[in-house]
Amino acid sequence: MALPSRRHAAVSPRGNLIRNATLVFDLDGTIADTAGDLIEAANVALAAQGFSTASPAAIRHGVGYGAKAMLRAALDETREAADEAELNHLAQQLVALYEQRIAVQTTLFPGFLDVAHSLRGRGAKLALCTNKTERLMTRLLSELGIAELFEAAAGRDTFPFHKPDPRHITQLVAQAGGRVPFAVMIGDSEADIAAARGAGIAAIAVRFGYAAVPADALGADAVLESFAELPDLVERLLGRVSSET
């Protein structure tokens, strides 16, 4: 009788890459589809101040770029104007309304939860790096029931700097107990990829995000079609790092 192969019992170098990895995720447009609640808050804020409401498609162009970007996108479609003071007031109203109903329509993107648990089970550290304020980030993570997935999480105001400043990533990785050379940024926007580039780490752009720039044009090291691909992409990208060091 042939002896069973020992090949499967050994820990492969690729397995070690996952075990040593720190995976830094963006929030809006990367792990969670938050557009519906943000669009609703924008239109309610506009209507309350006497402006016309805009189509979800128009406002969606600003999702991922902040409250003012969403409002400007809406006003462009309705051909109305707001001065800076009005825009600031509208933005404050939008955020207040959004906080009250932060996870009514919001859902996690398909496959994220399964792959997050799988990667953690293989020893990877997960971290969250978002330009949402820390208050909104904390509330949304709690509402979605995923706060415990992350070793560390940082919002726009957690540190004195935020994406695209690379220190938003490097400080977060240190907080998570990871090592920067073995970190990978997963995001959907120009700010995510620029921060990763500045930090000197690999970057993955998701195809299904909110950026106005197509994922292929963001300059990431790889483009993610679905979360099922993530472990293989991480191993491939960190394998390059290992071969270069």
Burial 27-49 (b: 16+ CB within 10 A, else e): bbbbbbbbbebbbbbbbbbbeee
Cα(155)–Cα(174) distance, integer angstroms = 15
Among this protein's residues, is 37 annotated catalytic?
no
**8 within some domain:** no
Clarify whether residues 85 and 186 are in a common domain. Answer: no
**3 within some domain:** no
Residue 79, pLDDT > 70, answer: yes
Clarify whether residues 124 and 92 are in a common domain. Answer: no
Residue 3, pLDDT > 80, answer: no
Question: Which domain-ending residue is among 100, 116, 143?
Answer: 100
Give the residue-averaged pLDDT of 229-241.
93
Question: Which domain-ending residue is among 50, 80, 100?
Answer: 100
CATH number reported for the structural domain that contains residue 48 in this entry = 1.10.150
Residue-wise pLDDT tens digits, 114-128? 999 999 999 999 999
Local confidence band at 240 (pLDDT 50, 70, 90 cut-offs) = confident
Residue-wise pLDDT tens digits, 121-159? 999 999 999 999 999 999 999 999 999 999 999 999 999
CATH number reported for the structural domain that contains residue 132 in this entry = 3.40.50.1000
* pLDDT at site 243: 58
> In Å, how far from its chain's centre is CA 52?
30
Local confidence band at 183 (pLDDT 50, 70, 90 cut-offs) = very high
Question: Which domain-ending residue is among 100, 121, 156?
Answer: 100
* pLDDT at site 10: 38
Clarify whether residues 197 and 184 are in a common domain. Answer: yes
* pLDDT at site 152: 98
**4 within some domain:** no
* pLDDT at site 15: 55
Q: How many domains does the chain have?
A: 2
* pLDDT at site 16: 81
Give the residue-averaged pLDDT of 78-101.
97
Range of the domain at 95: 35-100
Local confidence band at 244 (pLDDT 50, 70, 90 cut-offs) = low
* pLDDT at site 9: 35
Residue-wise pLDDT tens digits, 8-38? 333 345 558 999 999 999 999 999 999 999 9
Which of 204, 197, 209 shows the shortest CA–CA distance to 233?
Answer: 204
| C-alpha dihedral (163, 164, 168, 169), degrees to nearest 10 | 110
* pLDDT at site 140: 98
Average pLDDT of the chain is 93
